[in-house]
A and B are shown apart, each in its own frame.
Chain A
Amino acid sequence: MLRYLLLLIISSLSISVLQANTDTSSIYEEVESSVYQVRVINIETGKKVAIGSAFVVQRDDILATNYHVVSEYVNDPDVFRLEYLSTDGKSGPLELLDLDVIHDLAVAKSSTPMGKPLEIADVPDKGARLFSLGNPLDLGFSIVNGTNNGIMAQDQDGNILFSGSLNQGMSGGPTLDESGKVVGVNVATQGNSLGFLVPANYLSIILERLSNNNFKPVEDRFKRISEQLIANSEKTIKRLSQNDWGSTHIGSLLVPAELDKSMRCWDLSRTPKKDDLFRSFLTQCSNQNDTYLSKRLSVGAINYEYSWMDTEKLNPLRFYSRYEKMNFSFIESEVDKSDVTNFACHTGFTTIAAQEFKTTVCRRDYLKYQDLSDMLFSIALVGHKAQGAMFNLDVTGTKSKTAFALFKKMVEAFQWKS
């Protein structure tokens, strides 16, 4: 009996697989000649350092892919070159035209016709079947089918969540709807059977900009990237500023709670012990939005933390010795001296919420990206014998003025409740 049941299950499974295969194979045949592999090649050794997928779009010599696939070439155009590889093994050089680091897109041009351009369509309804094409792990072309799980709720221009297993080399490949039109570009994977797609309408924006400009390549790529990052940071901070932040207690201070629903906040307070002579609390919030620039560099983080410390048992000298140890702040990143300047800092004393704070502002600028800065703000309550409070805010990849405005708005919302 059990054996029959098992047989029944297996046969029904194989039927559904067969059905799926017919759908995907027809799509694959239709677009196969329009999907390519993109390679970043070291000019000296001739060997690839990064691969991804790309597809023909708008014109028969225009290819779209991810920015992160070609990022090494963008950052060191003297060391690397770009190349395509077709399903039938033909290869040739590519010229980078334009990019969008915020949405992880890049557009390149070939000197020869590459095949039939794919059409761009709007994102279909949630639950619609999607087909993702690409070149996973350099093993040859493949097609993955999955479902549109909608645009991620974190922010308005979020990515599409795709329940299909995208692999690394599929980055830059197209995701098609059932009629074979591009609705998204593969970007990233997170664990099993989960992928993210960039909505294809962001690609349309670049293509429109290019066709207005007769498909001429961008002259200063770093300037273009810098403008995009600054505009994105301004947009994000403007959106944050318009939100109702709510408020939360940290000791005697009433401070802004979550600047946005995309912020992730954690409590990192030390666990109190029975014979403690003081209390201390720490909460940290960070946005989940990093813009990838290179293996080492990503910007667009907004992090802030509040800490509080008070005592009934410690004398002021002992209390301050401990309180002072909490007074430090830095930005976690892997930047080195080829990316940014050292921090320049300015320290003074300010009145916030009718209390006095030792206040520091630090700024460092990016060397390649004009006017782009990392900003760090730190304030520490002074003048109280048995209470201490700190607030640290850091904003990376922004314009200093924009970060100043956010800091100002945040500390203006502080209130003291003794």
Chain B
Amino acid sequence: MEKLILELTQQGKPSYYKLSTFPVTIGRAYDCDVVVPDITVSPKHLTIEETEQGFEIRSLADENGTTLNKEKISENTNVPVSLPSLLTMGELRARLIHPEMQVAKTQFTSRGSHWFSFLSNPFWAFVFVALTILTIIISKHIRTPVQQEELIYINAVLLPLLGMFVVAFIIAVVSRLTMHRWALVPALSISALLFLVPLLFVHIGHFLAYLTTSDGVALVLKYVASFLLLPLLIAFYLRRVHYTHWPSAIGIAALVTMPVSAFFASDLVQEMSNNSGFTPMPAYNKTLSAFDIRMQKTVGVDEFLQQSEVVLSEQVEALLSKESD
């Protein structure tokens, strides 16, 4: 019956040694009880001994040293160990755990009832892909007020469809390489959403721009689609497929999407510097909507013009005083 578990984390993967007879020597030398191939560990690095009170460790070599719970221990001194404890030998990270320590809760798999399980459900993957194709066709149809052959629509769909599969394939291959598991369905869902959401945002943004008679909301949605959509989808994917913890999932997603974000950021900076300067073009809300759903009420011409006169002279006054600064 084992009395102590030694967890070694090598290349990101933990391995476990169940220790039942003591003392145990750990090191690179082949006659050690636990042989670790890490080059920063000494040939005979430390021993773990059993006492009446529990366990003690003793450092055998001072080359790269040993820390217990982040405190350095000196050579050839016995130090008592409480469980669980963090141990480093050179660069090697290890833990000493009690065999009966509680393990983390089970992660429910794809078909569980978790609220974002839709990512892994083949039905939803199919729905997302279908919706994306449909949205592309409808957008194309609405945008071109001339008669067109069906081939044109197929043409409009083909390229995004290809893109969608390429993105899905890349995500799946990365998963396969790191996790040794194919996760095609969630990859396809993520990829479809990546195409679908910006398209929907354009239409929603347009609707809101007319609703509020202001371009602000549409702009916010545009920036959400550029900066947040891809990292969020990747974070969801990592959480769902790789069962990564949220903080690391978000960190990895932010890191992976950095080049894309940097591209949009430089775009944004350029746009902002353009907008802050002089333009001979009048900037006003030009949206028109067939639904004509809006918050602004219709007023008489007189009332509107009086309002405009006041508002505009205030705004122009501000522009002039900014200019004279």
- Cβ-based interface call for A153 (8 A): no
- Cβ-based interface call for A358 (8 A): yes
Known: A344-B312, A367-B320. A328 touches B304 (CB 8 A): no
Known: A346-B307, A347-B284, A400-B309. A363 touches B299 (CB 8 A): no
Known: A318-B141, A376-B282. A361 touches B288 (CB 8 A): no
- Cβ-based interface call for A126 (8 A): no
Check B290–A360 contact: CB distance below 8 A. Answer: no
Q: Please indicate the chain A residues that have their CB under 8 angstroms from the CB of B309 in the complex.
A: 400-401, 404
Known: A341-B320, A348-B296, A350-B300. A328 touches B286 (CB 8 A): yes
B166-197: CB near A (< 8 Å → 1, else 0) gives 00000000000000000000000000000000
Our pick among A314, A388, A412 for the contact of B301 (Cβ within 8 Å) is A412
B306-322: CB near A (< 8 Å → 1, else 0) gives 01110111011001100
Our pick among B279, B283, B292, B297 for the contact of A382 (Cβ within 8 Å) is B292
Q: Which of B143, B282, B311, B320 has the most CB of A within 10 A?
A: B282
Check B146–A275 contact: CB distance below 8 A. Answer: yes
Check B294–A349 contact: CB distance below 8 A. Answer: yes
Q: Please indicate the chain A residues that have their CB under 8 angstroms from the CB of B285 in the complex.
A: 347, 360
A139-170: CB near B (< 8 Å → 1, else 0) gives 00000000000000000000000000000000
- Give CA–CA (A340, B319) in the complex, Å: 10
- Cβ-based interface call for A59 (8 A): no
Our pick among A330, A347, A358 for the contact of B281 (Cβ within 8 Å) is A330
- Give CA–CA (A356, B283) in the complex, Å: 22
Q: Please indicate the chain A residues that have their CB under 8 angstroms from the CB of B301 in the complex.
A: 350-352, 359, 408, 411-412
- Give CA–CA (A318, B288) in the complex, Å: 12
Check A320–B284 contact: CB distance below 8 A. Answer: no
Q: Please indicate the chain A residues that have their CB under 8 angstroms from the CB of B308 in the complex.
A: 346, 348, 361, 404
Q: Please indicate the chain A residues that have their CB under 8 angstroms from the CB of B288 in the complex.
A: 320, 323-324, 327, 358, 380, 382, 388
Check A351–B299 contact: CB distance below 8 A. Answer: yes
Q: Please indicate the chain A residues that have their CB under 8 angstroms from the CB of B289 in the complex.
A: 320, 382
- Give CA–CA (A344, B323) in the complex, Å: 14
- Cβ-based interface call for A317 (8 A): yes
Chain A nearest CB, measured from B112 CB (Å): 40
Chain B nearest CB, measured from A411 CB (Å): 6
Known: A317-B142, A358-B288. A350 touches B298 (CB 8 A): yes
Check A348–B282 contact: CB distance below 8 A. Answer: no
Check B290–A317 contact: CB distance below 8 A. Answer: yes
Our pick among A318, A348, A360 for the contact of B299 (Cβ within 8 Å) is A348
- Give CA–CA (A382, B142) in the complex, Å: 18
Please choose the segment from A49-57, A188-196, A331-339 that sits at the chain B interface, where 4 or more of its residues have CB less than 8 A away: A331-339
Check A331–B145 contact: CB distance below 8 A. Answer: no
Chain A nearest CB, measured from B321 CB (Å): 10
- Give CA–CA (A266, B27) in the complex, Å: 93
- Cβ-based interface call for B213 (8 A): yes
Q: Please indicate the chain A residues that have their CB under 8 angstroms from the CB of B143 in the complex.
A: 321
The tally of residues in A whose CB lies under 8 Å from a CB in B reads: 62
- Give CA–CA (A44, B270) in the complex, Å: 37
At the interface, is chain A mostly helix, strand, loop or mixed? mixed
- Cβ-based interface call for B271 (8 A): no
Q: Please indicate the chain A residues that have their CB under 8 angstroms from the CB of B281 in the complex.
A: 330, 343
Q: Which of A317, A348, A349, A380 has the most CB of B within 10 A?
A: A348
Check A330–B313 contact: CB distance below 8 A. Answer: no
Check B305–A361 contact: CB distance below 8 A. Answer: yes
- Cβ-based interface call for B302 (8 A): yes
A354-395: CB near B (< 8 Å → 1, else 0) gives 001011111111010000010010101011010010000000
Known: A327-B286, A344-B315, A351-B299. A404 touches B278 (CB 8 A): no
- Cβ-based interface call for B280 (8 A): yes
- Give CA–CA (A193, B144) in the complex, Å: 51
Check A349–B280 contact: CB distance below 8 A. Answer: no
Check A404–B305 contact: CB distance below 8 A. Answer: yes
Chain A nearest CB, measured from B310 CB (Å): 9
Name the residue on A nearest B275 (C-beta): A342
- Cβ-based interface call for A128 (8 A): no
Q: Please indicate the chain B residues that have their CB under 8 angstroms from the CB of A331 in the complex.
A: 280, 282
Known: A277-B147, A385-B290, A407-B305. A349 touches B284 (CB 8 A): no
Q: Please indicate the chain B residues that have their CB under 8 angstroms from the CB of A327 in the complex.
A: 286, 288
Q: Please indicate the chain B residues that have their CB under 8 angstroms from the CB of A328 in the complex.
A: 286
- Cβ-based interface call for B76 (8 A): no
- Give CA–CA (A383, B308) in the complex, Å: 23
Chain B nearest CB, measured from A352 CB (Å): 6
A244-285: CB near B (< 8 Å → 1, else 0) gives 000000000000000000000000000000011110000000
Our pick among B299, B304, B305, B316 for the contact of A364 (Cβ within 8 Å) is B316
- Cβ-based interface call for A218 (8 A): no
- Cβ-based interface call for A345 (8 A): yes
Q: Which of A275, A336, A343, A411 has the most CB of B within 10 A?
A: A343
Known: A341-B316, A367-B323. A277 touches B146 (CB 8 A): yes
Chain B nearest CB, measured from A275 CB (Å): 5
Q: Which of A336, A350, A358, A362 has the most CB of B within 10 A?
A: A358
Check B282–A347 contact: CB distance below 8 A. Answer: no
Q: Which of A190-215 contact B (CB under 8 A)?
A: none
Q: Which of B244-276 contact A (CB under 8 A)?
A: none
- Cβ-based interface call for A77 (8 A): no
Check A365–B320 contact: CB distance below 8 A. Answer: yes
Check B305–A344 contact: CB distance below 8 A. Answer: no
Check A320–B319 contact: CB distance below 8 A. Answer: no
B132-169: CB near A (< 8 Å → 1, else 0) gives 00000000011111110000000000000000000000
Q: Please indicate the chain B residues that have their CB under 8 angstroms from the CB of A360 in the complex.
A: 282, 284-285
- Cβ-based interface call for A329 (8 A): yes
- Give CA–CA (A151, B282) in the complex, Å: 38
Check A362–B284 contact: CB distance below 8 A. Answer: yes
Chain B nearest CB, measured from A349 CB (Å): 4
- Cβ-based interface call for A216 (8 A): no
- Cβ-based interface call for B10 (8 A): no
3 nearest CB pairs, A to B: A337-B278, A344-B315, A316-B290
Supply 14 further A-B pairs (C-beta < 8 A) apart from A341-B316, A345-B312, A362-B282. Answer: A319-B290, A322-B145, A327-B286, A327-B288, A331-B280, A342-B283, A347-B284, A348-B213, A358-B288, A360-B284, A365-B316, A382-B288, A400-B309, A404-B305
What are 13 A-B contacts defined by CB distance under 8 Å? A317-B142, A318-B141, A324-B288, A327-B286, A345-B283, A349-B297, A349-B298, A352-B301, A358-B213, A360-B285, A382-B288, A404-B309, A407-B305
